[in-house]
Chain A
Amino acid sequence: MAWQRKILRVNLTAGTCTPEPLNMDWALKYIGQRGLASKYLAAEVDPKVDALSPDNKLIMATGPLTGTMAATGGRYSVITKSPLTGAIACSNSGGFIGAEMKAAGWDMIIFEGKSPKPVYLYLENDEAQLLPADGLWGKSVWETDEILHATHQDPLLRIACVGRSAETGCLYAGVVNDLHRAAGRSGVGTVMASKHLKAVAIRGTLGVGNVRDKRAFMDATTAGKKTLKDNAVTGVGLPTMGTQVLMNVINEVGAMPTRNMREVQFEGASKISAEAMLEPRESDGKPNLVTNGACFGCTIACGRISTIDPQHYTIANKNKYKGASGGLEYEAAWALGCDTGVDDLDALTYANFLCNEDGFDPISFGSTVAAAMELFDIGAITTEHTGGVELRFGSAEALTWAAEVVATGTGFGKDLGLGSKRLCAKYGHPDLSMTVKGQEFPAYDPRGIQGMGLTYATSNRGACHLRSYTVSSEIMGVPVKTDPLTTEGKPELVKAFQDATAAVDSTGLCVFTTFAWTLADIAPQVDAACEGGWTPETMLEVGERIWNLERQFNLDAGLTAADDTLPKRLLKDAAKTGPAKGQVNRLHEMLPQYYAIRGWTEDGRPTDETLSRLGV
């Protein structure tokens, strides 16, 4: 079996590292990663716990296919209770550290308690040590990575850590691994920092060789790779253009959230698109995009590696930003650009570098800056609050200043680090926060893509596109084309995407494979690797089980059906331009039907029959 069947339990209060066997009964019901770690969290943590107290736990979890030869089999997730939302959080990342953890012999690491002093976990195969991190506290992600590699004299060490934003309490700080990959959403890095855990440094040389049926696994993974290669999206589109190819698409269909979602189309979109990233700039004749990049085992390689114009104001005297580093993905480009009204590609790339360097979520950051800009626009925030900065929509200087103060948690950066919901409440205009359950929206306006309204409203981690990406069907026609402007059939579509995605997120594979693969491609790979008799049907059942487990955690935490909603702006203020002109999101047409097909009561609670059927 491809599980290592071993967990490392790290008690930060006591300073102990203790191996224990993986609960295989649970593994057969929840697969791994998101599902299995959520089961552990629900079993071990009181859902009502203060997310930043020592009683919360933080789990780093791989899936059974993490570290194997399956294409994209390098994913890991960070699971905890979120300080941003008060809901269960699961944040997924690629890079290389997930595979390294698995190769060191571990399925999962559970961190509990709080260390009296800053520490980091050093893990080399069976050897686990908590080491002092006094010299790392106050350092950025990039500095921490460099120091740890030098300290251990091992260039192959894989490192995940938090930056200064997490240390200073930014509620949307992530855990960054391999310099610019991140478990970015929901403030999982804030939880890690609250435990005085600065970093996890791993070296694994044991490998992952114990698959159930080696021949079948070779056949299934080879077939899967061919499908990815032959598919126009995963074989050509994503490696060439990255996710940023969506910038012009979503703007054209009139679903581009712009200036804190006041509008649905951004006049500057073409200047910050994938196409723009390929254009040679005047100063040095080079384009923004240097090359694409791949995570462990990935045959897609959608990652962007970029440079900033060396003459741009942001880096004129800052040599460390003049090299190539993690570039703009669509979500970051949207949040930093369209939502703030900034169309300066280099300013966006600089802000994105800072998000990586100090570990904060560019989606939540950009959306929070957008909210602050609207508060400035109506006079609720003034230059007295910002220390003189004109926080205006469209100001690249304001955006990059905001990134600098959030990175270090200084001055007005403390307020911006609260996130949009708390910021808007603090300055007296809670309705201006574009959030669900306290988490900021991603890059699709639900007035122009109706299914995404239901996706956001019901997402178990707050507004998120990666819980059910109905954009795939409603805009791109994968697996079938549906009309983005109707609500008909969307409850069924959202549920299908939610369940399938929860299953994929539990395997160790990347959800981007699903632009080419269905569960019929994934199940044979899982089945060849693992005991359990995995089919598309059993995987969907696991996905539904995970969804209900997460939902139950949230209900027990105190969330209710009243939290399954959208900001008034999206329900009352019609889109002003584009195909959705005159439309609002019609959540009320979808939500009751969604509850019914989920087997939930009218107030959104799973019935006893549903929980019993799924074995939750």
Chain B
Amino acid sequence: MRALGIILAGGNNNKMRELSNKRAIAAMPIAGSYRSIDFSLSNMANSHIQKVAVLTQYNARSLNEHLSSSKWWDFGRKQGGMYVFTPTVTADNSWWYRGTADAIYQNLSWLKSSHEPYVVIASGDGIYKLDYNKVLEYHIAKRADVTVVCTECKEEDTSRFGVLKMNEESRIEEFDEKPMVSQSNLISTGIYVIRRRQLIEMVERCAQEDRHDLVKDILIRYKNLKRIYGYKINTYWNNISTVDSYYRTNMDFLKPEVRDYFFGQYPGINSKIDDLPPAKYNPGCSVKNSLIASGCIINGKIENSVIFKDVYVGNNCYIKNSIVLNNVYLGDNTHIENCIVESRDTIRANSYHCGEDGIKIVVEKNERYAI
């Protein structure tokens, strides 16, 4: 294979509010049965990238649990495989990952000992499908030093993205990281293709200068020196790292065309297998326009919602426009509207939760007595 994969999955930000207390964003549950990182991992596997490093730092327990075996994404091979790198203390370094470039620098020996000529860098919080080979071919054809996969931003506010401007040859002329006012709605997806030796050189130089960020200290700084090109995609891409975009991305899967794009069209998205029984619908339940994952037992009423794995919905519950994460127990007569219910929680009977302006995140941390 011609490329290595690196997935940056260390991140966290306060825009995820309470949801980030428990896990890295890359481990956020998506679309009923998946985790965010499944998309980048599956894309790597589907692009025949056989050697992938996942760089993780913030609250990695949930992510590590999800990545407990590489076989779900077909990485358990003699050639290559999946490597999970968390920061470690070594003789000459005792820092955490101080930034994305530093995270790569601290694992430079892995890059150096590999022989693949190119590296595909992706983030763990993008929901998309992409054949990286196409980006790689483009990268080679353009004789680029770095190729940045970009897309038109569908949100009005681009201030949480890297904003680009390309010339007619697709070479990137402007690159602003999280600008307050942006000149363009073309944003970086956080997916890059770069020659392995080039990356090693840039990251080493960066470290010498005590700089640590892949975007600010490499892409932006080098943009006039190196040939940095944009590869524009028009297919579905969403970054989930705010509560609103997380909510919206999940709700997108209620649309048949989105489900068909991700799950109907080959190749699909893989995930860890949980061995849960099929969902069960008891008398008196009513489910409209919703996604229900396996292991759920439904007694109440559900509308326009995404119910993740192993959720129990009690009698007379009413769930509307909401997301209920894995392994939640909803007691009888509970009302949930415009909410995201955090995983493994127990909501007592007769509870009332309604997001008045915007999405409410429900975290109750009750003991579960139900059998």
A and B found bound together: no
Interface residues of A (CB under 8 A from B): none
